[in-house]
A and B are shown apart, each in its own frame.
Chain A
Amino acid sequence: MSKPAVMRHMPQIAHVDVNCFYASAERAFDPSLEGRPVIVLSNNDGCAVTRSPEAKALGIAMGEPWFKLAPRAKQWGLVALSSNYELYGDISARVMELLGRYSAWLEVYSIDEAFLGVKGTPEELLALGRDMKTAVRRNVGVPVCVGIAPTKTLAKLANKWAKNNPGFDGVCHWDSVPAADRETLMRRLSVIEIWGVATRLTKRLNALGVHSILDLSRADPVMIRDRFSVVVMRTVLELQGTPCIPMEEERIGRDQLIFSRSFATPITTAAGIRQVMSVYGQQAAARLAKHGLQAKVLTAFAGTSHFNPKDTSYPSVCIPLPMPTADPVILTKAAHALLPRICEDIRYARAGIMVTDLRPTGNQAPLALFENPHEERHVGTLLEDITRRYGRGSIGLGHGGIRGGPDWTMKRDMLSPRYTTHWDELPLVKAA
């Protein structure tokens, strides 16, 4: 990152994420859920993937199967909902577009979290964090917490702190907290609580006497690199305040796949963005096929440059797909829905797509009637083969069509209306 000649303050990173995202999105349109224990279930209504604080207080664990909870649901007043990915995708797109207005540098990290580059005095940063929190709640209707720190890892930690400690009122600026308090927190938290440290790694770190986050932050980065990996060394450096986790171009989360990147040369035309979207559509198709998955919802986004704060544009759109698919033609075509939102002659510095509502391929095969013609002819596999043999960019899709049927094979007995993406399912307001 190049630095301006005169700089009052070092750039910092804000990590923003929505509290209990899926449950909060449901509550935004059904206020009767406010204050009640709410869980959102995984695909096929299998197990709890999101729990409201009230549901956590009941002792419901992450991943607890619904059939075990169902018998007690009534007694608890527990509301269980099927996952409504179209709603979550649209709410996510709104949140990201709004956050883009606060910083010229935005990295959509997952469906419900983003990193933003921010600058200012500690007071200004706190005020900015509170502004973002208020705006997302007011405009979109969901609650967020904000952590601001010199590095991504610390920003995530600050955010977690803000969530769990009501004293912060949802916004924690790491450097504004007394050093002694930060140490106490880092001593109390196990290394497993830190971003990027998994269970297996925790055991190996423990064997070296590294138990708390504080221990890890005091470890020798070179020793960590030699014994573990560059990835873990980066975590150590980040805990010490040196930013070194780069923008990731491809991420696979629990229930989403993200592709995004910054461009070496800004793109200034819809035609250019169209090309980028085509590439991502095909990459997403290849990844989905590799993992044996299909997606039902796609979000496409783009953003302007860090260095050009005058003309900013952060369009983000959510497209429900007509059927679950891993078809590169359909995914590419869907991603092109972003194009009408692209302003010509603005310098876009990054773009990406995210696919959600993932389910195993062939788990519920559509009737032949609804089967996709491209899939049948294995276009995806063919494109992959050619790419593998002749390199990336040797073949690509130009045009494509969407054909599909209804998605009625997935078990979603407790699905709320798709309030924002279907005209027949708009939220009802009582006039009585």
Chain B
Amino acid sequence: MGVVVGPRVIDAGASLLSVLISPVAVAAGYPSPAQDYFDGRIDLNEHLIKDVTSTYVVRVSGDSMEGAGISDGDELIVNRALEPVDGSVVVAVLDGELTIKRLRITGTGIVLQAENPAYPDIRVPSLSDLVVWGVVTRCLHYV
């Protein structure tokens, strides 16, 4: 703090200076300070992630949700903080696995539906018997 840099420091710092100003280091670093504050472009994080603490990205394995436009290999944005409601596409824990289903809350109980006729519905007596890992908010589908 407030230290005057004497000639000896310049000596000692010769190799340091060469590191700091070498083209290689600068090219990999910040070319211009202005770039750090450039905010003109659309930032998908800002639009797709409402809460950074509770949002995760997961990848789909299987074709049971084709009817909802969710295909094998798509990425999903999942918000754990959302309350699941009737009609939500949820990631639920079934037999120790993260599984994606359409949640139906009916007068006679809870139904987990696939969006593909090849897969049967799964019935759950009540919401408390079901572990909902998160609610799917977006699908990043490959076209």
Asked if A pairs with B, the answer is yes
The residues of A with any CB-CB pair to B shorter than 8 Å are: 29, 31-32, 34, 94-95, 97-98, 135, 138-141, 270, 274, 329, 333, 339-340, 373-374, 377, 379, 382-383, 385-386, 390-395, 397-403, 419-420, 426-432
Residue B24 interfacial (CB < 8 Å):
yes
A-B contact pairs, 17 of them (CB 8 A): A31-B96, A135-B81, A138-B81, A139-B54, A139-B80, A140-B80, A274-B36, A329-B25, A340-B36, A373-B25, A394-B1, A394-B5, A395-B5, A427-B98, A429-B91, A431-B62, A431-B70
Interface contact A432-B119, CB-CB below 8 Å: yes
Interface contact B61-A377, CB-CB below 8 Å: no
How many Å from the CB of B3 to the closest CB on chain A? 4
Interface contact A399-B13, CB-CB below 8 Å: no
With A32-B97, A140-B54, A377-B19 in contact, do A429 and B13 touch (Cβ < 8 Å)? Answer: no
Interface contact B58-A427, CB-CB below 8 Å: yes
Question: In the complex, which of the residues A139, A419, A428 contacts B53, with contact meaning CB atoms closer than 8 Å?
Answer: A139
Question: In the complex, which of the residues B12, B28, B37, B60 contacts A382, with contact meaning CB atoms closer than 8 Å?
Answer: B12
Interface contact A139-B81, CB-CB below 8 Å: yes
Q: Describe B's contact surface by its main secondary structure.
A: mixed
> What's the Cα separation between A391 and B96 when bound, in Å?
57
> What's the Cα separation between A374 and B15 when bound, in Å?
10
Interface contact A390-B53, CB-CB below 8 Å: no
6 additional contacts (CB under 8 A) given A95-B53, A426-B59, A429-B100: A31-B93, A139-B51, A382-B16, A419-B56, A429-B99, A432-B61
Interface contact A401-B53, CB-CB below 8 Å: no
> What's the Cα separation between A429 and B70 when bound, in Å?
12
Which residue from chain B places its CB closest to the CB of A139 in the assembled complex?
B54
> What's the Cα separation between A94 and B49 when bound, in Å?
13
How many Å from the CB of A87 to the closest CB on chain B? 11
The residues of B with any CB-CB pair to A shorter than 8 Å are: 1-3, 5, 9, 12-13, 15-16, 19-20, 24-30, 36-37, 51-54, 56-65, 70, 72, 75-76, 80-81, 91, 93-94, 96-100, 114, 119, 131, 133
Which residue from chain B places its CB closest to the CB of A333 in the assembled complex?
B29
Which residue from chain B places its CB closest to the CB of A95 in the assembled complex?
B53
> What's the Cα separation between A135 and B51 when bound, in Å?
12
Question: In the complex, which of the residues A29, A139, A383 contacts B16, with contact meaning CB atoms closer than 8 Å?
Answer: A383
Question: In the complex, which of the residues B25, B58, B65, B72 contacts A401, with contact meaning CB atoms closer than 8 Å?
Answer: B25
Interface contact B28-A402, CB-CB below 8 Å: yes
* Residue numbers in B under 8 Å from A393 (CB-CB): 1-3
Interface contact B99-A430, CB-CB below 8 Å: yes
> What's the Cα separation between A427 and B15 when bound, in Å?
46
How many Å from the CB of A52 to the closest CB on chain B? 15
Interface contact A400-B29, CB-CB below 8 Å: yes
> What's the Cα separation between A392 and B37 when bound, in Å?
29
> What's the Cα separation between A309 and B99 when bound, in Å?
40
Interface contact B98-A386, CB-CB below 8 Å: no
Interface contact B65-A431, CB-CB below 8 Å: yes
> What's the Cα separation between A315 and B54 when bound, in Å?
14
> What's the Cα separation between A390 and B5 when bound, in Å?
8
Interface contact A429-B60, CB-CB below 8 Å: yes
Interface contact B63-A431, CB-CB below 8 Å: yes
Pick the most buried of B15, B37, B53, B70: most chain A CB atoms within 10 A of its CB: B53
Closest 4 CB pairs of A and B: A401-B28, A32-B96, A431-B62, A139-B54
* Residue numbers in A under 8 Å from B25 (CB-CB): 329, 373-374, 399-401
> What's the Cα separation between A393 and B2 when bound, in Å?
8
Question: In the complex, which of the residues A31, A138, A431 contacts B54, with contact meaning CB atoms closer than 8 Å?
Answer: A138
Which residue from chain B places its CB closest to the CB of A29 in the assembled complex?
B98
> What's the Cα separation between A374 and B22 when bound, in Å?
11
> What's the Cα separation between A98 and B114 when bound, in Å?
33
How many Å from the CB of B76 to the closest CB on chain A? 7
How many Å from the CB of B50 to the closest CB on chain A? 11
* Residue numbers in A under 8 Å from B98 (CB-CB): 29, 31, 427-430
With A383-B16, A391-B1 in contact, do A426 and B133 touch (Cβ < 8 Å)? Answer: no
Interface contact A429-B53, CB-CB below 8 Å: no
Interface contact B59-A429, CB-CB below 8 Å: yes
Which residue from chain A places its CB closest to the CB of B65 in the assembled complex?
A431
Interface contact A270-B37, CB-CB below 8 Å: yes
Interface contact A429-B61, CB-CB below 8 Å: yes
How many Å from the CB of A195 to the closest CB on chain B? 27
Which residue from chain B places its CB closest to the CB of A374 in the assembled complex?
B19
Which residue from chain B places its CB closest to the CB of A390 in the assembled complex?
B3
> What's the Cα separation between A29 and B97 when bound, in Å?
9
> What's the Cα separation between A399 and B91 when bound, in Å?
43
> What's the Cα separation between A210 and B131 when bound, in Å?
48
Interface contact A392-B52, CB-CB below 8 Å: no
